[in-house]
Amino acid sequence: GENVEQHPSTLSVQEGDSAVIKCTYSDSASNYFPWYKQELGKGPQLIIDIRSNVGEKKDQRIAVTLNKTAKHFSLHITETQPEDSAVYFCATHGAYKYIFGTGTRLKVLA
Amino acid sequence: KAGVTQTPRYLIKTRGQQVTLSCSPISGHRSVSWYQQTPGQGLQFLFEYFSETQRNKGNFPGRFSGRQFSNSRSEMNVSTLELGDSALYLCASSQGLAGTDTQYFGPGTRLTVL
């Protein structure tokens, strides 16, 4: 069935370093790829998204890249800060629903 | 604009009972989707409502049902609760159908089934 694989499951980086999270999907109909950040006790919050007609999108320290041929997309966070510590989820939307990755717990060490 | 609100935030029930969760979308949003989040299964789609009609449904048993009112507020009902239904239930709203517009999540309702 349709699924989204997300790696790594945990990631620890030093403050100021970059963090990269990767997702691979199987549904060829996927055309929308959002990334969410979830902090403890809160719902997921959209941080960046990309549609299938775009290969890369950047918003300040956050960027997403998409390779539709290989069916994978990645989240890049530069100059990480302690407040970036959270669980990050990738997702795809294809025919009718969102499918989420399993999440990456990012820890930024001060 | 106020964000997506969910009530109650926490709920404790026993097996066999039923529960109703409520979600108020962002003003002007017509789509409400429901998700179940557990450590083992992650975030899973339950169903989506748009203009009071269920548009899509995930792979959950018929014990999970929902509805949407004319003001776009939505409720989700789970009957005959099982231990495995313990989870964080999230709702999300968007102006148009999910996937066409940005989806905003509420804080969730934490359901514990004893």
- DSSP strands (E only) in A1-110: 4-7, 10-14, 19-25, 32-38, 45-51, 56-59, 62-67, 72-77, 86-93, 98-100, 104-109
CA distance B58 to chain A (A): 8
What is the pLDDT, as a whole number, of residue B70? Answer: 95
What is the pLDDT, as a whole number, of residue A97? Answer: 85
Token reading at A95: 């025919």
- Among B4, B43, B99, whose Cβ lies nearest the Cβ of A93? B99
Token reading at A37: 């950040």
Task: Compute CA B50 distance to the chain's CA centroid, rounded to the nearest angstrom.
Answer: 13
What is the pLDDT, as a whole number, of residue B13? Answer: 97
| Span A46-100, pLDDT tens digits | 999 998 777 999 999 999 999 999 999 999 999 999 999 999 999 999 877 899 9
Residue B84, strand partner residues: none
CA distance B107 to chain A (A): 4
Question: What long-range pairs does B8-12 form, CB within 8 A, spacing at least 24?
Answer: B8/B109, B9/B107, B9/B108, B9/B109, B9/B110, B10/B109, B10/B110, B10/B112, B11/B109, B11/B110, B11/B111, B11/B112, B12/B111, B12/B112, B12/B114
**Measuring CA to CA, which residue among B86, B75, B72 is closest to residue B38?**
B86
Token reading at A26: 């199987």
Q: B104 to chain A: which residues are within 8 Å by CB?
A: 46
Q: A43 to chain B: which residues are within 8 Å by CB?
A: 4, 90, 92, 105-108
pLDDT tens, residue order, chain B (114 aa): 789 999 999 999 999 999 999 999 999 999 999 999 998 889 999 999 999 999 989 999 999 999 999 999 999 999 999 999 999 999 999 998 887 888 999 999 999 999
Question: What long-range pairs does A7-12 form, CB within 8 A, spacing at least 24?
Answer: A7/A104, A8/A104, A9/A102, A9/A103, A9/A104, A9/A105, A10/A104, A10/A105, A10/A106, A10/A107, A11/A104, A11/A105, A11/A106, A11/A107, A12/A106, A12/A107, A12/A108, A12/A109
Average pLDDT, chain A: 93
What is the pLDDT, as a whole number, of residue A52? Answer: 78
- Among A43, A89, A98, whose Cβ lies nearest the Cβ of B98? A98
* pLDDT > 70? residue A1: no
Q: Is B55 near chain A, with CB under 8 Å?
A: yes
CB A18 within 8 A of CB A12: no
